[in-house]
């Protein structure tokens, strides 16, 4: 009986932890999307030199890659929660 209670407790802690991570990832992704919108507005609203346009394009590409990676992570976390198999995911 104690073993199942301990396992249940671990599952509960893991679920809380993963739910917290999912909320943090969602907030981070939303903030990065706002930055992406800002770059788009800056790029279209002002006359920029070729170098400045290149820098903004590089920033945009880096943000897109970061958002895609965080979206993948969020999807994995939500999938494990939905499957009822939460666990602490360690990032190395």
- How far is it, in rounded angstroms, from Cα 51 to Cα 6? 59
* Total tally of structural domains belonging to the chain: 1
Question: Rg of the chain's alpha carbons, rounded to an integer?
Answer: 19
In a domain, 36, yes or no: yes
- pTM to 2 decimal places: 0.79
Residues in contact with 4: Cβ distance below 8 Å, sequence separation at least 6, in sequence order: none
In a domain, 65, yes or no: yes
Per the structure, the complete domain to which residue 41 belongs is given by 2-83
In a domain, 43, yes or no: yes
In a domain, 22, yes or no: yes
**Mean of the pLDDT values across residues 54-64?**
95
Which of 27, 59, 65, 30 has the alpha carbon at shortest distance from 42?
59
What distance lies between CA 41 and its chain's CA centroid?
23
Quickly state the pLDDT bin for 46 (edges 50, 70, 90).
Answer: confident
In a domain, 67, yes or no: yes
């Amino acid at each position: 009986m104690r073993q199942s209670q301990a396992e249940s407790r671990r599952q509960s802690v893991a679920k809380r932890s993963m739910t917290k991570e999912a909320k943090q990832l969602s907030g981070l992704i939303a903030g990065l999307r706002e930055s992406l919108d800002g770059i788009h507005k800056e790029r279209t609203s002002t006359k920029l030199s070729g170098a400045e346009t290149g820098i903004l394009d590089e920033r945009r590409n880096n943000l897109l890659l970061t958002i895609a990676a965080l979206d993948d992570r969020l999807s994995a976390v939500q999938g494990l929660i939905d499957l009822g198999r939460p666990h602490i995911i360690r990032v190395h």
